[in-house]
Amino acid sequence: MMQALLNGLVSGLLIALPAIALSLTYGILNFANFSIGAMITTGAYLAYLVNTTLGAPILVAAPIAAVLLALIAIVIQRGIYRQIRNADHITLLVASMGVAFVLENVIRFFFGADVRTLDVAVARPLSWNGLRLNHEQLLIVTVTLSAMALVAIVLKRTRLGRAMRAISDDPELAEVRGIERARTVDWTWAISGVLTTLAGVLIALDGIVDPLIGTNYLVSVFAAAVIGGIGNPFGAVAGALIIGIVEETSALAVSTTYRQGISFVVLALVLLLRPQGLFGFARIKR
């Protein structure tokens, strides 16, 4: 039971990164980015590419992949989402599903459906009072916590963060006050690209790289963001921890193949009982 709780916390931290990314883009652009799963996958494959073909160690490969995906995300924003930003948010949502479809199949085109692994050494798990924590999990904890701290600093302490929060609150007012929307949006996508790449690499380190690794987390990530009150990055972290723990502890009772099914049930319950999310505020619709 304690082991399941620990595993749940770790996998929750992992889900938290894309959940923050989802909340950030949702807050600023007012649409749910359904390509978040495909972005995780793309990040993992980019890291794999740099790691195995260029032979760079993963600690070097991951940042390079993160920068690459950040650039790709900005290109997608400028090439696609900005072109249709005047359409309703459902059109943007459908477009993001199209983007996911394209990204996933570009990966299949170049890499096929084969399962691959990153080129890293395998180490013995640490154990403490009967609780096991392997090195990948330790790495997940370190990386995710540092990334979250960085995001928090950016949001609370920098000019960019203030601009992001302002636009999220009231885009028109922000624009009137001279905040450059396009630049802020680009940066948001860049952060989103970095966070999803980190998540992709961590997932790949803990297991394998295949074209569905990100999509397999899509429902959990959305459930986390919705529980946290979508658009609220700090709520997303709490939501992710809840989802992680529920998924891992339910594995004691239900077959692990139903992990996504569990997220669906939690999501449906939250939507029915507390639709603004556990940490969101009910808003009056305009």
Partner 1 sequence: MTGYFVAILTFVSLAVLLGFALNIQWGQAGMINFGLAGFYGVGAYTAAILSKQGVDGVSATVAAIVTTAAISALVSLATIKLREDYLAITTLAFSESVRLVLMNETWLTGGTNGIRDIPRPFVDLVGGERYELFFLAACIVLVAAVYFLLDSVIRSPFGRALRAVREDDVVAATLGKDVLALRVKAFAIGGAVIGLAGALHAFYFTYIDPGEFAGFVTVYAFMSVIVGGKGSNRGLVMGACTVMILLEGTRFLKDFVPFFTAQQAASLRLIMIGTGLILVLIFRPSGLSSEYRLSSPKTADTTS
Tokens of 163: 């601009």
By the rule CB under 8 A, 14 interacts with partner 1? no
By the rule CB under 8 A, 15 interacts with partner 1? no
Q: Which residues pair with 209 in a beta bridge?
A: 116
CB nearer to partner 1: pick between 95 and 147? 95
Q: How far is the CB of 79 from partner 1 (least distance, A)?
A: 9
Tokens of 256: 């692990």
Give dist(CA 102, CA 79) in Å, integer: 14
Give dist(CA 42, CA 235) in Å, integer: 26
3-class DSSP state of 57: coil
CB nearer to partner 1: pick between 79 and 125? 79
Q: How far is the CB of 230 from partner 1 (least distance, A)?
A: 8
| Binding residues among 44-103 for partner 1 as defined by CB under 8 A | 80, 83-84, 87, 89-91, 93-95, 97-99, 101-102
Nearest to 8 by CA among 105, 100, 133, 102: 133
Q: How far is the CB of 89 from partner 1 (least distance, A)?
A: 7
Q: How many residues bind partner 1 (CB under 8 A)?
A: 43
Give dist(CA 18, CA 222) in Å, integer: 9
Nearest to 41 by CA among 146, 111, 93: 111
The residues of the shown chain that bind partner 1, judged by CB under 8 A, are: 31-32, 34, 80, 83-84, 87, 89-91, 93-95, 97-99, 101-102, 105-106, 108-109, 112-113, 218-219, 222-223, 226, 230, 255, 257-258, 260-261, 263-264, 267-268, 271-272, 275, 285
